[in-house]
Structures are given as structure tokens and as C-alpha cells.
Amino acid sequence: MLPASSTRVAIVCLLALTAAGCDRQSTSSGQANAQADATTVSPDEATGTSSGAAIGLDRSHKGTAAPTTPFTDAAGKPVTLAAFRGQPVLVNLWATWCGPCVAELPTLEALAKSGHIRIAAISQDSGAGADVPAFLKAHGAPTLVPYHDKAMALATGWGATLPTTVLFDAAGKEVWRWNGGNDWNSAAAAKLIAEAG
């Protein structure tokens, strides 16, 4: 009896881990549909929930100070989000192995080029940070600064699934976070970003 129940528990755990986050660049219909849902949710329809697994808008952390967790810049030097204080910043946690992350990179590039807000796209890959610039260039985001969090400490600290995007105001306080992929160059995204003041 014990072995059968242990097997059931192991299967349930494996299924939960598989469903918990982005695990590949697959464009299976389920992942494609989730991507489509995330990019079409307007600010008025967004969920506003605090669940890391829910796709859409989460305002439950509004007013929280930006973490002091270090990551590295393009030169491999440590930096924190405090370096962005003084103007709003959109922080995007992504990884090379995450399909929805890669799909939204060109929209982050377009938003960065518009000059409306600073973008900190921070790779959560455990591999070498030197690979990040080439990956960004190959996937439609050649001018994004290649920040890297090899320890994945930001994603872990936020309990985030990837991609997760967080808007901070000029004082370094969280305005909202978006769980899942999005079109960051859309009118709906512009309306949300304008909330940073």
C-alpha cells in the first residue's frame, strides 16, 4: 500500500513541477494560447491577483521597495535596481529557454527604442552571461542591455515564473507586476506603463 501511494505522490509532484513554469521554447497549442491570452488582456480585464502562476496584472505588491539583489551588467560588474532610481524602470525577468520570454523580446526592444521608459531585461539563465548579448541580437533585441542574474536570485526572491515584468516608479517603489508574456509595445501596455508617473 505504501509503495502505491508514494508513486501517486511522486506523479502528482512531477505534474505540478511541469505545470509550474516555463520549461522550453515549445510552441505547443497550450503555450501558444497562454501567450495569446497574456498579450490580449487589457488593463481593465487583468486579473490583479497575487498568484505567481496567474497570467496578467498583479498589484498586490504595490509600494514595495525594489530589492537590493545584485545581478551583473554587460561588463560583468555587479549592479542593483538602485542604479535605476530617479526614473521609472520596467524590469523584465526572462531566460533563453523560455518560449514566451523570447517571444516578447522584440516588443521590449521596440519599447526601449521609443525612449518612454528604461528597460532592465535581466536574464535568469544559469549559464555564462557572455552568451546573453548574442542571444538578444539573434532574437530581435540587439540594443537591450544584457543584464544577467546567474543565481536567478531575483526570480527566486519574487517567487516568479518566467517571464515576469515589474514596473518601478522613479522612487524605486513597485507599481505593478505582469506575470506571463505580453506585447510591451501595445497601447494597453503603454497605458499600464504610464502609471509610473
- Assign 129 a pLDDT band (cuts: 50, 70, 90): confident
Domain range for 122: 24-196
- Between helices 99-114 and 29-40, what is the axis angle to 10°? 30
Q: Is the pLDDT of residue 42 over 60?
A: no
Q: Which of 9-18, 47-56, 112-121 has the highest mean pLDDT?
A: 112-121
**Within a domain: 8:** no
**Within a domain: 36:** yes
- Assign 28 a pLDDT band (cuts: 50, 70, 90): very low
% residues pLDDT > 90 (the chain) = 69
- Assign 15 a pLDDT band (cuts: 50, 70, 90): very low
**Within a domain: 93:** yes
What is the CATH classification number for the domain harbouring 174? 3.40.30.10
Q: What is the pLDDT of residues 150-182, one digit of tens each?
A: 999 999 999 999 999 999 999 999 999 999 999
Q: Kindly compute the dihedral angle of the four CA atoms of residues 33, 34, 40, 44, in this order, to the nearest 10 degrees.
A: 140
Total domain count, the chain: 1
**Within a domain: 11:** no
**Within a domain: 190:** yes
Burial 45-80 (b: 16+ CB within 10 A, else e): ebeeeeebeebbbbbeeeeeebbebebbeeeeeebe
**Within a domain: 7:** no
- Assign 54 a pLDDT band (cuts: 50, 70, 90): confident
pLDDT, position 40: 36
**Within a domain: 3:** no
pLDDT, position 53: 56
Residue 165 cell numbers, joined: 515584468
**Within a domain: 182:** yes
